[in-house]
Amino acid sequence: MRYIFLIYSREQDRASMSAEEGQAIRTQHWAVQDESGRKGVLHAAQPLQPTNTATSVRMQDGKPLIVDGPFAETKEQLAGYYLIDCRDLDEAIEWAKKIPSGCRGGPGCIEIRPLMELPPR
Amino acid sequence: MNAASARAVVEATFRREHGRIIAALIRLCGSFDRAEEAMQDAFASALAHWTEQGIPDNPGAWITAASHRKLIDVARRERTRREKSELLRDDDDESAAEGGASFDEAAAGLPDDRLRLIFTCCHPALNREAQVALTLRTLGGLTTDEIARAFLLPEPTLAQRLVRAKRKIQQARIPYEVPPEHALPERRASVQAVIYLIFNEGYLATSGDSLVRRELCAEAIRLARLLRELYPQDAQTAGLLALMLLHDSRRHARVDGSGALITLEEQDRGTWDREEINEGLALVELALSWHAPGPYQIQAAIAALHAQAATPAETDWPQIAALYAELAKLNPSPVILLNRAVAIGMSEGPERGLMLMDSLGVSGALSEYYLLHAARADMLRRSNRREAAAEAYRRALALATNETERRFLQRRLGEL
């Protein structure tokens, strides 16, 4: 079953990171990508541009309202994702432990969500 | 065989075997709901069959076989229906239930199935309330109504909680298996926490249906026995079982006819359950011999010292104080330090206890905690400082919310 791993971390930490710190985090990501790639279970993995590049479109009175910014202002922001095939939640949790989340020791979190599998149309 | 005695055998079989049966059925069909339904159907048909044809040699095996047939029937019906609607892509779920090979295993009721079940019910991806409800419902076999009454919740709330938990197990695919070695200590701790919570809910709270509360304690002890059967070498599990047995042994002594609390000191020690005490003491000794100190063993050792004192005066308070100090090393909570202060007060004199308590009160964490003031009041009472004791009891009364505890404090205040 496929699970998406949503990486939440503090953008301010990412922005103020030194080159070495950035390199260390990238290395951890590469390790996860190499391992899951080798096992043939990695579908996708990608960091996102920060939330100041986000645009939200919501329908209001039947008309699209275009707003600058993310869906919600939160202390931690969605920073990237992995899409990995896992046997069950325990295996997903093992992957989540390996994905770096809290940059510079700051608070961070990986949210695991199973994808909803639909029958073919 | 008349219907009443058949019903009695059905009920006894349920009590004894349902944990094994449901655990095996869940493994076979991969669904809590389908397993539950199949087992309920099987027990219902047992009542009719056994009344007519007598009790089978092995009622548990009969129920297992009947439940298994029901599972296969349901799977077949469902597959036919889904094939007709041409929506079905794969039939993983059904093939699992129809795999005849697993049937013998199910009949054998391997302890592993119950182990799988308890680890799934107490999976950390479920919140604590859901873990407790699910454990009581599936392994404990309590009805949703009984669980709701025990936790003073409306039945629909409890039912909803169970539905959500089972849905998450299914949809997030929480595995139905014993965790691997590296995750075992942490996952077992979660199971122990659930069991202890169930026990305390039954033991500490004095409101609600007392029969159901009694059932919670009994169930927690049963579950700990099961866990111990499966992990006979685990010191924490032995400690947990010992702790609950030793507390449970004072069940009849700790509340009077009107439901008022009786302190350890005032309890009639003759009414303590000797059998539970002996079993608990043996377990404490065993757990301590492994030299793997943990919070349950230490608390059990404290309870053991109380159990071994024939009269309150014979209580080994210095040893109890030392054990609380050990406990504080593992979990430096102010409540544990307060207990240590009480023990020191009892062994070295109230003045010494008061000094320690005052330093705790000053540090702030406990200044609004009624038990600190109740404990101070007790020490003041013991050193004959009535005015100050009354003042501390009044302070404790202002902070206590539980009616039973308030009544106790009122009584003590009146006795000064």
Over residues A11-32, the pLDDT tens digits come to 888 788 888 888 988 999 999 9
Residue B180: predicted pLDDT: 87
Q: Give B173's contacts in chain A (Cβ within 8 Å).
A: 1, 87-89, 114
Each residue of A70-110: pLDDT tens digit? 998 888 899 999 999 999 999 999 999 999 886 555 578 99
Residue B3: predicted pLDDT: 83
A96: amino acid identity, one letter = A
Residue B233: predicted pLDDT: 93
Mean pLDDT of B201-223: 80
In angstroms, the separation between the Cα of residue B249 and the nearest Cα of chain A is 39
Among candidates A88, A116, A120 on the partner chain, residue whose Cβ is nearest the Cβ of B174: A88
Residue A105: predicted pLDDT: 54
pLDDT of B242 strictly over 90 = yes
How many cross-chain Cβ pairs, A to B, lie less than 8 Å apart? 26
pLDDT of B402 strictly over 70 = yes
pLDDT of B106 strictly over 50 = no
Residue B260: predicted pLDDT: 79
C-alpha distance from residue B89 to each of B22, B29, B79, B372 (Å) = 28, 18, 11, 64
Asked if A120's CB is within 8 angstroms of B175's CB, the reply is no
Closest residue, chain A, to B179 (C-alpha): A90
Residue A85: predicted pLDDT: 97
Q: Give B179's contacts in chain A (Cβ within 8 Å).
A: 90
Interface pTM, i.e. ipTM: 0.85
pLDDT, averaged across chain B: 88
Residue B88: predicted pLDDT: 42
Predicted TM-score (pTM) of the model is: 0.83
In angstroms, the separation between the Cα of residue A6 and the nearest Cα of chain B is 15
Q: What percent of chain A has pLDDT over 70?
A: 95
Residue B93: predicted pLDDT: 46
- Residue environment code for A15-29, b if the CB has 16+ CB neighbours within 10 A, otherwise e: eeeeeeeeeebeeeb
Confidence band for B208, pLDDT divided at 50, 70 and 90: low
Treating both helix axes as pointing N-terminal to C-terminal, what angle do B350-363 and B370-382 enclose, rounded to 10 degrees? 160
Contact with chain A for residue B175, Cβ under 8 A: yes
In angstroms, the separation between the Cα of residue A39 and the nearest Cα of chain B is 20
Q: Give A89's contacts in chain B (Cβ within 8 Å).
A: 123, 125, 172-175
Residue B166: predicted pLDDT: 95
Each residue of B69-79: pLDDT tens digit? 999 988 888 88
Asked if B172's CB is within 8 angstroms of A114's CB, the reply is yes
Residue B172: predicted pLDDT: 95
pLDDT of B410 strictly over 80 = yes
Among candidates B89, B173, B183 on the partner chain, residue whose Cβ is nearest the Cβ of A89: B173
Confidence band for B362, pLDDT divided at 50, 70 and 90: low
pLDDT of B207 strictly over 90 = no
Residue-wise DSSP of B250-313: TTTTSB-TTS-B--GGGS-GGGS-HHHHHHHHHHHHHHHHTT---HHHHHHHHHHHHHH-SSGG
Closest residue, chain A, to B176 (C-alpha): A88
Closest CA to B316 of B285, B270, B347, B354: B347
pLDDT of B186 strictly over 70 = yes
pLDDT of B104 strictly over 70 = no
Residue B84: predicted pLDDT: 67
Residue B97: predicted pLDDT: 43
Asked if B125's CB is within 8 angstroms of A93's CB, the reply is yes
Top mean pLDDT of B21-30, B198-207, B309-318 is at B309-318
pLDDT, averaged across chain A: 91
CB atoms within 10 A of CB B373: 25
Q: Give B116's contacts in chain A (Cβ within 8 Å).
A: none
In angstroms, the separation between the Cα of residue B177 and the nearest Cα of chain A is 10
Asked if A114's CB is within 8 angstroms of B171's CB, the reply is yes
Mean pLDDT of B319-328: 96
Residue B141: predicted pLDDT: 87
Kindly state the DSSP code that residue B384 receives in the 8-state scheme. T
Q: Give B87's contacts in chain A (Cβ within 8 Å).
A: 119
Q: Which residue has the higher pLDDT, B286 or B88?
A: B286
Residue B86: predicted pLDDT: 53
Q: How open is the CA angle B378-B384-B385, to the nearest 5 degrees?
A: 80
In angstroms, the separation between the Cα of residue B168 and the nearest Cα of chain A is 10
Q: Which helix (H) or strand (E) holds B407?
A: helix B403-415
